């Protein structure tokens, strides 16, 4: 990774826009850390990836770290490395260690504490891996892990056993084996391409995967799971979108966590995808101290709908190693869903799920609106607490 440039003499022009055309927040450290970077560099996703902040010295030039953060960065590198794109770093609060974006990407000492229920592979993906890089758990769909690379290493990553230690992409031999398995299993109609982050692949490599999957007659739909539109929005280029639209029906699930992530750049990235006819969904992990308040999730889902992203899942935090400090009580997630249901449009209400530890799959959890069901009568409670009876048709 290139060194972050020293403080440059040229100051941003009024309104937070550098004379080169780069948009910065009022983050003074970010303004000066990258003030010598040209607009074409800043907006180049490859430059962003190659210049990720991976060392303490680089981050110290952008935000004012606490002594505990300094100690955590030094201590946690051996268990899960740090990587933050310049774009995402420029949106961190420089002085507040409780900044919701900062908590997601800057290591904390809590990661060194291993909880009693922590698991290396909390979702049991290795157990259900039928061939390397392919997980087959549900009857009609599979998970294809295309790469171990991510633009930003989220500290609550459930696949930290695979991501971060080394960055590798799926090989042609692996893809051959996957396609051979899929061709033999004609009940499989849906493939989710995830990682890591598939959008970290070059257009040509991602297309080669999609093309081979689309050539299998019984594969009806393709999905891509990504966080790049949030942490690396310049990755969503016209050429990428033009390529993706050749593989409809194709869906993209984007990992959003907090409303502060929805910047003008992120809006533009989602607009490009949505305008190409690609349905967008959001998957959000419930995280203590970051988004575990009803008003925060409500703001997030409303902002998502404004950029044509449908809130899809709200996940209970998985019991991966060292994530106890991120976990919330399940009752908090139920409370959040109750605060949404009936109080806003149904499009804004995600499904709250627990990914059953060990590979049991996603189990929906939510408020109980059914009070009694007996002798053809169901007693229901609506969002305001009013009671209603519904009588079923006999037989």
Catalytic residues: 137-138, 141, 150, 154, 157, 159, 318, 355, 362
86 Cβ neighbours under 8 A, 6+ residues apart: 4, 33, 34, 37, 42, 48, 51, 52, 53
235 Cβ neighbours under 8 A, 6+ residues apart: 45, 48, 151, 199, 200, 228, 229, 269
Report d(CA 348, CA 341) in Å as an integer. 9
68 phi/psi in degrees, rounded to 5? -70, -35
**Bridge pairing between strands 370-374 and 377-381:** antiparallel
Nearest by Cα to 85 from 105, 69, 99: 105
Exposure letters 32-46 (e unless 16+ CB within 10 A, then b): bbbbbbeeebbbbbe
Report d(CA 190, CA 223) in Å as an integer. 8
């Amino acid at each position: 990774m290139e060194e972050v440039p020293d403080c440059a003499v040229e100051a941003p022009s009024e309104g937070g826009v550098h004379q080169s055309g780069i948009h910065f927040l009022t983050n003074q450290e970010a303004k000066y850390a990258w003030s010598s970077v040209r607009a074409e560099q800043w907006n180049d996703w490859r430059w962003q990836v190659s210049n990720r902040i991976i060392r303490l010295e680089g981050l110290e030039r952008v935000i004012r770290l606490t002594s505990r953060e300094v100690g955590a960065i030094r201590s946690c590198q051996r268990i899960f490395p740090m990587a933050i794109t310049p774009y995402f770093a420029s949106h961190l609060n420089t002085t507040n260690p409780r900044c919701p974006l900062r908590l997601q990407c800057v290591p904390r000492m809590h990661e060194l504490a291993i909880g009693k229920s922590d698991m290396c592979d909390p979702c049991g993906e290795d157990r259900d891996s039928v061939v390397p890089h392919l997980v087959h758990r549900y009857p009609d769909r599979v998970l294809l892990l295309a790469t171990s690379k991510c633009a930003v290493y989220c500290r609550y990553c459930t696949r930290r056993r695979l991501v971060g230690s080394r960055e590798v992409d799926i090989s042609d031999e692996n893809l051959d084996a996957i396609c051979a398995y899929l061709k033999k299993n004609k009940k499989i109609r849906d493939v989710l391409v995830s990682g890591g982050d598939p959008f970290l692949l070059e257009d040509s490599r991602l297309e080669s995967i999609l093309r081979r999957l689309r050539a299998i007659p019984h594969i009806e739909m393709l999905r891509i799971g990504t966080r790049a539109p949030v942490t690396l929005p310049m990755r969503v280029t016209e050429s990428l979108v033009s390529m993706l639209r050749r593989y409809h029906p194709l869906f993209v699930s984007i990992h959003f966590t907090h409303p502060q992530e929805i910047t003008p750049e992120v809006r533009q990235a989602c607009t490009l995808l949505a305008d190409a006819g690609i349905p967008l969904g959001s998957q959000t992990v419930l995280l203590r101290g970051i988004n575990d308040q009803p008003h925060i999730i409500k703001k997030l889902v409303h902002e998502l709908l404004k950029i044509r992203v449908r809130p899809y899942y709200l996940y209970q935090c998985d019991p991966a190693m060292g994530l106890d400090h991120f976990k919330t009580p399940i009752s908090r997630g139920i409370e959040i869903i109750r605060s949404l249901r009936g109080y806003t449009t149904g499009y804004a209400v995600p499904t709250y799920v627990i990914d059953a530890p060990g590979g049991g799959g996603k189990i929906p959890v939510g408020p109980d609106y059914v009070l009694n069901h007996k002798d053809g009568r169901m007693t229901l409670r609506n969002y305001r607490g009013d009671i209603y009876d519904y009588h079923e048709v006999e037989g």
